[in-house]
Amino acid sequence: MTIKDYIRRDLLNFKPYHAPLKPYDIKVDANENPFSHHPSVIEKTKIWLDNKDHLTRYPDTDSMELRTKLADFYQVSPQNIICGVGSDQLIEYVTKCFVEPGDNVLVPDPSFSMYGIANALNHGITINYELSDTFEYDENMIVRLCLEHNPKLLFICTPNNPTGSIISNEQVLSILKKVSCPVVLDEAYDEFVEESMVSYIKEYPNLLILRTFSKAFGCAGLRVGYGIGSEDMIEALNICKSPYNLPSISSAIAGFVLEEEDYYMANVSNMNINRELLYEELTQLEWLKAVYPSKANFILIKTSDEDTNQIASY
């Protein structure tokens, strides 16, 4: 007998999420923020590190200080917020919380692979709903599939990774008015478009919004994500939350960053301007079959290599 003989049979051919780390001069493959942090963030971090208890003691398991700052930022209650190790961990939490073996989960295609991975690890059945040829959402199709498959979860990503396309607030509202299952709206790149659904969490208790400090705020190395939803939604997710899940240093620096919103949003404006300049330049390259408009900090292209028909985002 080998270890493989003991692995769950449904996972024997499972491909785990893997992001290879390769030598680079310029790195653009993970949609990271290229700018330095505000000097006050660096200074506050150094002062924070001088207190030995910050590293020798366990973090606040409820991340109350960061949740309070986020609550003030979004004009909600701390009870409307849950923090995690990146939004990836929150995707795991929501799937563990709601999906039982054999339950259907609707996932956009193409989109972030972690939705399907988390669902498979929890014995759910992933039903992909395809975006249009130009990667637009069809809210009527989504509602139809919800009525047909009665999913336990519906995932929507906007701006979508890796296409950069968005679904409007009006489209999301149209969906929320017609479906009852939990709707997970992944807004990891929302700072680049500023069309959030946070103000609707009280009206729609089945809505969960995922956000992150990894992109616009340049904290990918700290792995700080958070979810915003109704108190009932957050209370449900806390059932599956790991104790002490967010490291103290990650929580502290995220709070420092939030205090310098203007600086980081200026960087976002800069990235948006440069994204449009890059888009215009890419459209002039004859070897590209397609360059897709984006509302995130990356651009999806389709190459003219007929052998591989590659699609890549930059």
* pLDDT value of residue 305: 65
Average pLDDT in the 109-135 region? 96
Q: How far apart are CA 262 and CA 303, in angstroms?
A: 37
Alpha carbon distance 166, 286 (integer Å): 27
Q: Residues 227-244: pLDDT tens digits?
A: 999 999 999 999 999 999
pLDDT bin (cut points 50, 70, 90) of residue 19 is: confident
Domain ranges of the chain: 39-261
Does 23 have pLDDT greater than 90?
no
CA–CA separation, 1 vs 159, rounded Å? 47
- Distance, CA of 159 to CA of 297 (rounded, Å): 10
Give the Cα separation of 119 and 155 in Å (integer).
11
| Phi and psi, residue 247, nearest 5° | -55, 145
State the pLDDT at residue 273.
97
Asked if residue 300 lies in contact with residue 294, where contact means CB atoms within 8 angstroms, the answer is: yes
Tell me the CATH class for 39-261.
alpha beta
What pLDDT was estimated at residue 11?
85
- Give the number of other Cβ atoms within 10 Å of residue 156's Cβ: 24
Residues 6 or more apart whose CB falls under 8 angstroms from that of 84 comprise 90, 93, 225, 226, 227, 241, 245, 246
State the pLDDT confidence band at 306, using cuts at 50, 70 and 90. low
Amino acid at 278: L
Q: How many residues does the chain have?
A: 314
Average pLDDT of 108-119? 96
Tens-digit pLDDT profile for residues 249-275: 999 999 999 999 999 999 999 999 999
**DSSP state letter for 58:** P
0.85 exceeded by pTM: yes
Spatial contact of 289 and 303, defined as CB atoms under 8 Å apart: yes
